[in-house]
């Protein structure tokens, strides 16, 4: 018999796939600059200020949502309701299921603040001591399976949100640059969007903004 959590997840995901017209867009981000800068940061700062790859994606997503507010909100009662703050759902795997509690006010947090808050949120999620609003306030969700070696996947939207970003591993990949063979660290990002609230062109611009912030990481580390 599935646990109560898995039964609840099954109900929510079945509803999402049946009621929300999903569309999917995938782009690749060249992560070398961001990963090199992250490595330099982590070498020069203590463990308490360490930054993960997922933190980079969360910050890039928060910046992109500020410029593309059509993806930051809830679709309810046949209408989209944009939200004034960026509360990012962050997928956390538990023994009896996957939850995505909200990392609150990401629009006002620096990268290191997001890193500290994300570690705290994940730890409290595993201890089952989340605050009520952290269960319900998310305006957009990021789910990352790159640490398991998954290269690419499409995620199911968490209603009433209108989008979710699925993040794969940064894989060393041979590419041609000016006719010369080189190696790039490419990471697949797949956006699942709610076609009732957004369309593919909007989704492409939003996803491209996330990719741009990851490939040109200065803004991620600013502040």
Catalytic residues: 195
Residues 168 and 189: their CA atoms lie apart, in Å, by 6
Do 193 and 22 touch, CB atoms closer than 8 A? yes
Would you say the C-alpha torsion 108, 110, 138, 209 has a positive or negative sign?
Answer: positive
Those residues whose C-beta lies under 8 Å from the C-beta of residue 82, and which sit 6 or more positions away, are 69, 70, 72, 73
Do 74 and 124 touch, CB atoms closer than 8 A? no
The closest alpha carbon to 140, from 174, 191, 98, belongs to 191
Residues 203 and 26: their CA atoms lie apart, in Å, by 10
């Amino acid at each position: 018999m599935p646990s109560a959590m898995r039964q609840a997840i099954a109900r929510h995901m079945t509803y999402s796939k049946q009621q929300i017209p999903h569309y999917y867009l995938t782009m690749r981000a060249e992560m070398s600059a961001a990963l090199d800068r992250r490595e330099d940061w982590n070498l020069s700062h203590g463990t308490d200020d360490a930054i993960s790859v997922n933190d980079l994606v969360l910050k890039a997503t928060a910046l992109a949502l500020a410029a593309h507010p059509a993806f930051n909100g809830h679709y309810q009662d046949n209408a989209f309701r944009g939200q004034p703050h960026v509360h990012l759902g962050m997928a956390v795997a538990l023994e009896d299921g996957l939850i995505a509690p909200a990392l609150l006010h990401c629009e006002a947090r620096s990268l290191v603040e997001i890193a500290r808050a994300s570690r705290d949120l994940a730890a409290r999620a595993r201890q089952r001591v989340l605050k009520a609003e952290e269960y319900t306030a998310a305006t957009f969700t990021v789910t990352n399976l790159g640490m398991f070696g998954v290269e690419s996947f499409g995620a199911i939207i968490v209603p009433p949100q209108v989008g979710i970003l699925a993040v794969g591993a940064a894989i060393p990949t041979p590419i041609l640059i000016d006719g010369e063979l080189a190696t790039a660290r490419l990471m697949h990002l797949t956006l699942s969007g709610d076609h009732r609230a957004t369309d593919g062109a909007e989704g492409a611009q939003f996803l491209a903004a996330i990719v741009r912030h990851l490939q040109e990481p200065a803004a991620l580390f600013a502040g």
